[in-house]
Amino acid sequence: MDSVKQLFSALGIAQESVTGGSLPVHSPIDGARIADVREHTAQETNQAIEQAVAAQKAWRSVPAPRRGELIRLLGEELREHKAALGRLVSVEAGKITAEGEGEVQEMIDICDFAVGLSRQLYGLTIASERPGHRMMETWHPVGVVGVITAFNFPVAVWSWNTALALVCGNAVIWKPSEKTPLTALATQALFERALKRFGDAPAHLAQVVIGGREVGEALVDSPRVALVSATGSTRMGREVGPRVAARFGRSLLELGGNNAIIVSQSADLDLAVRGILFGAIGTCGQRCTSTRRIIAHRDVVQELTARLKKAYASATIGSPLEAGTLVGPLIDQAAFDAMQKALAQAAEQGGTVTGGERALQERFPNAFYVRPAIVEMPGQTDVVRHETFAPILYIMSYDTFDAAIEMQNDVPQGLSSAVFTTDLREAEQFMSASGSDCGIANVNIGTSGAEIGGAFGGEKETGGGRESGSDAWKAYMRRATNTVNYSRELPLAQGIRFGED
Ligand code: NAD
């Protein structure tokens, strides 16, 4: 507890904001109650929205490269506080130290990207069909961006959205997961340090509101929030998407995944085993991009399964703060119960389960550690097609590469996918229009651990949104097409002559 207090003070979180509130925060490491955070009401959230609207009106006129300077300063704060914030991610979300710090590194990387972007918000010039005319497009900020995030990437997802949204000239209101408010408060404190050094930014440019779905719903339903960027379960997206659409708002949805790796008979199995291990048991199977399904060629499935079982047996399960740990805890009891239910269903549907039991119960009676499970399935049954947010890896086999791709695509989700193969034809087919239907399709690397330079997101029930790199910034802007007539005539498009004959 003392070390948690030290982290709060190192990160600039005021003690009074984490004591006496109505939202208890438990560390998944040992189940200890580490804070009681004050929640915002829906009314306070609406007030924050009004303040954000005013802030955005001032911010949109600040030149974009100057806006980039604020993000550069944020990147500096994150560099300086990487170890402390990474540790708080471990304490609050249960990630091992390397992954907690890796998450902060991702924030730093997107800040660097956004600083460069602040000088590259390009529009096209387009050849006009009319003489003496110029046509072009300009990009303007959308307004206020509401960011709703999940517990499993408690800070990185905020930064993907906010670094881009701010350089694009928007204001941001963040509703973090009710399971991880502390890392949000710490991030906000670091942002405010950057703001202070920046000097003349409008007040309330980026705010955080704490609470459950009612607070999220205030963002979802407000016509003053131009874009709702929501990350979480498909259940949440099914509610948020139509509600935002009903008021003709924009939404950017980043929802569940059910990510598969195809392992061909030509695969380098050493690489495949390493890629699968990180993807399946990293973050205790609680990444949206976690590897959940293996589709292996019939000639290699037995050897691959045996090697994976061996690798699983030697993966250290333990406190995420201890050196050598590879598998930390599940977030809470509900996650444990969901895992047990899925394993029971898998067994009923013909699966052979190895692992999956509770671990370290004596040492951590109030926390939920598990042995990651491997389940050999006779086929892709209902339970396999459902995302269970826990370390369960279903292994299935295939005879032809076409059938493997069909099985890979035959799930409702479409986030990440990979193939391990040394056959060029298979690799190219996998990435082609008749290959993987996912937003991410990798060759000889696993499904998780994406770089920020690419656009991140997925299709079907994953929601269709794209965040982070490439041209994902366009989601945070509105496009205007401008046509300028510098001639002395007024020709109409499509050659129309109107009242001239
Ligand atoms: P969750 O859906 O339970 O909660 C996510 C967020 O949505 C929380 O902040 C929650 O308070 C809020 N919320 C829930 N219902 C809402 C509503 N009706 N209106 C407004 N806000 C609402 O998800 P979780 O358990 O925190 O996270 C795990 C899920 O997130 C998994 O399904 C995972 O695949 C997904 N995820 C996806 C991505 C991605 O980029 N595609 C990234 C991380 C996590």
Q: Whose CA is nearest to atom 12 of ligand 1?
A: 213
Pocket test for ligand 1, best of 152, 215, 236, 460 (most atoms within 8 A of CB): 236
Measured in degrees and rounded to the nearest 5, phi and psi for residue 339 equal: -65, -45
Structure token pair of residue 408? 């890979």
Rounded to 10 degrees, the C-alpha dihedral 165/166/168/171 comes to 80
Q: Exposed e or buried b for every residue in 459-498, given b needs 16+ CB within 10 A?
A: bbbbbbbbbbbeebbebbbeeeeeeeeeeeeeeeeeeeee
Mean pLDDT of 478-482: 98
| Chain segment 338-376, per-residue pLDDT in tens | 999 999 999 999 999 999 999 999 999 999 999 999 999
Give the H or E element holding residue 369.
strand 369-370
Of 159, 152, 20, the C-alpha closest to 92 is 152
DSSP 381-449: -GGGGS--SSSEEEEEEESSHHHHHHHHH-SSEESEEEEE-S-HHHHHHHHSTTS--SSEEEESS-SS-
Q: What is the rounded distance in angstroms from the CA atom of residue 441 to the CA atom of residue 270? A: 20
Mean pLDDT of 115-120: 98
Confidence label for 16 from pLDDT (cuts 50, 70 and 90): confident
Checking if the pLDDT of 243 tops 80, the result is yes
Q: Whose CA is nearest to atom 26 of ligand 1?
A: 150
Checking if the pLDDT of 501 tops 90, the result is no
Query: What's the angle, vertex CA 389, arms to CA 24 and CA 329, rounded to 5?
Result: 55
Q: Whose CA is nearest to atom 9 of ligand 1?
A: 177
Q: What is the rounded distance in angstroms from the CA atom of residue 32 to the CA atom of residue 12? A: 22
Mean pLDDT of 94-114: 98
The architecture in CATH of the region 259-452 reads 3-Layer(aba) Sandwich (3.40)
Q: Which amino acid does the sequence have at 71? A: I
| Distance (Å) of CA 297 to CA 125, 168, 257, 325 | 50, 47, 23, 32
CA of 14 to the centre of ligand 1 (A): 27
Residue 282 has a CB neighbour count (10 Å cut-off) of 27
| Distance (Å) of CA 102 to CA 82, 97, 317, 471 | 9, 8, 19, 23
Question: What percent helix, strand, coil does the chain show, rounded to 5?
Answer: 40, 20, 40
| Distance (Å) of CA 305 to CA 294, 370, 386 | 10, 20, 22
User: Which positions are catalytic?
Assistant: 254
pLDDT of residue 15: 87
| Chain segment 289-326, per-residue pLDDT in tens | 999 999 999 999 999 999 999 999 999 999 999 999 99
Q: Which atom of ligand 1 is nearest to the CA of 235?
A: 2
- Please, what is the angle between helix 2-11 and helix 181-198, to 10°? 30
Mean pLDDT of 234-242: 98
Q: Which atom of ligand 1 is nearest to the CA of 289?
A: 34
CA of 336 to the centre of ligand 1 (A): 17
CA of 214 to the centre of ligand 1 (A): 14
Helices (H), 118-180: 156-167
Pocket test for ligand 1, best of 45, 153, 231 (most atoms within 8 A of CB): 231
Q: Which atom of ligand 1 is nearest to the CA of 148?
A: 9
- 213 half-sphere exposure, CB direction, 13 A CA radius: 7
Structure token pair of residue 446? 């696993």
Q: Does residue 353 sit in helix, strand or coil?
A: strand
pLDDT of residue 2: 56
pTM check: above 0.85 = yes
The architecture in CATH of the region 2-255+463-481 reads 3-Layer(aba) Sandwich (3.40)
Q: What is the 3-state secondary structure (H, E, C) of 267-291?
A: CCHHHHHHHHHHHHHHHHHCCCCCE
Let me know: does 85 contact 78? Beta carbons within 8 Å.
yes
Of 321, 312, 324, the C-alpha closest to 276 is 312
| Chain segment 34-84, per-residue pLDDT in tens | 999 999 999 999 999 999 999 999 999 999 999 999 999 999 999 999 999
* Residue 23, beta-bridge partner list: 37
Query: Residue 98 burial by CB count (10 A; 0-12/13-18/19+): exposed, middle or buried?
Result: middle
Residues with CB under 6 A from ligand 1: 148-153, 175, 177-178, 212-213, 216-217, 220, 231-233, 236, 239-240, 254-257, 288, 387, 389, 415, 462
- 78 half-sphere exposure, CB direction, 13 A CA radius: 28
Checking if the pLDDT of 499 tops 90, the result is no
Q: Which amino acid does the sequence have at 318? A: G
Of 434, 386, 388, 394, the C-alpha closest to 412 is 386
| Chain segment 385-428, per-residue pLDDT in tens | 999 999 999 999 999 999 999 999 999 999 999 999 999 999 99
Let me know: does 449 contact 290? Beta carbons within 8 Å.
no
Structure token pair of residue 361? 């119960």
Q: Which amino acid does the sequence have at 178? A: E
Of 443, 451, 441, 437, the C-alpha closest to 423 is 443
Query: What's the angle, vertex CA 152, arms to CA 150 and CA 158, rounded to 5?
Result: 55
Checking if the pLDDT of 216 tops 70, the result is yes
CA of 147 to the centre of ligand 1 (A): 11
CA of 69 to the centre of ligand 1 (A): 31
| Chain segment 449-461, per-residue pLDDT in tens | 899 999 999 999 9
Checking if the pLDDT of 1 tops 60, the result is no
CA of 28 to the centre of ligand 1 (A): 18
| Chain segment 253-287, per-residue pLDDT in tens | 999 999 999 999 999 999 999 999 999 999 999 99
Residue 20: CB partners within 8 Å, gap ≥ 6?
Answer: 36, 38
Domain ranges of the chain: 2-255+463-481, 259-452
Q: Whose CA is nearest to atom 20 of ligand 1?
A: 216
Between the two ends of the chain, the Cα-to-Cα distance in Å is 86
Q: What is the rounded distance in angstroms from the CA atom of residue 436 to the CA atom of residue 275? A: 18
